[in-house]
A and B are shown apart, each in its own frame.
Chain A
Amino acid sequence: MDAVTYPDSGVSRFVNEKLVPLRVPFNHEPLSQQFQVKWTPTLVIADDKGNEHHRTVGFLAPEDLIPSLLLGKAKTDFDLDQFPGAIATLEVILNEYRNSGSAPEAIFLYGVSRYKNTHDPKPLKEAYEKLKAEYPESEWTKRAYPYRLL
């Protein structure tokens, strides 16, 4: 991450602007134990109480790290019932990072967040149809499969 991803100016600007970055060695105590770190790099998105909402393990290139961090930010809002914030962040992934590995999960969560925000089930079906059309092999397409009936 130090050789390619973190020196990327887009990554560093994004991280400094949107997140509070904390860097600790993998064997840091008590954090290593608290977050059950087993491999590096382990990247965690947590809220301001230290509760984890998203995690990746292993190298991510700049073009994949930013959407992954955006997904983590959206999942934090979602878990805290801040659905408009989650929706806004997910729209950034869907519009600007649709080829990233985070896109299928973002589509799924976008449908669920819109449903939770409005109680209208239509976004769930839209999420399934978009996943089926654009990412037919994704596990998130399988997870959204029941929504086709709505």
Chain B
Amino acid sequence: MKAAKVLKFTRDLMKRADFFNVDLSRGQDSGRLNMADKIGWETDFDTALTRAKAEKKPLFIDFFNPG
């Protein structure tokens, strides 16, 4: 029960950090993600469009605040 509360507290904290654009995992291994699981973001629009056409997939664009 106590572990569940700690887990919930941690998750809430992470959500708040997300809201304020704070990267809690910077400089340390969060242990929640393997390299293979990372999102393979494109950074160039034309490259992404070319990929979308070739792979017959929609484009997912995230306009983010780099802080």
Contacts and interface: CB of A to CB of B under 8 A. Distances in A.
A21 B65 contact: no
Contact of B43 (A16, A20, A22, A61): A22
User: What's the interface size class on A, roughly?
Assistant: 35 or more
B57 A26 contact: no
Given A3-B17, A21-B39, A22-B41, A35 B30 contact: no
Interface in A19-57: 19-26, 28, 31-32, 35, 37, 40-50, 53
Interface string B17-43: 111011111000010111001111111
B7 interface: no
Contacts of B55: 20
User: What's the interface size class on B, roughly?
Assistant: 35 or more
Most buried by B among A13, A46, A76: A46
Chain A interface SS verdict (over half): mixed
Contacts of B18: 1-5, 59
A21 B40 contact: yes
Contact of B62 (A21, A32, A50, A73): A21
A44 B63 CA distance: 8
Contact of A3 (B24, B56, B66): B24
Contacts of B52: 20, 47-48
A8 B30 CA distance: 11
Q: Which 6 A-B pairs have the closest CB atoms?
A: A48-B52, A22-B48, A19-B60, A23-B41, A3-B18, A48-B53
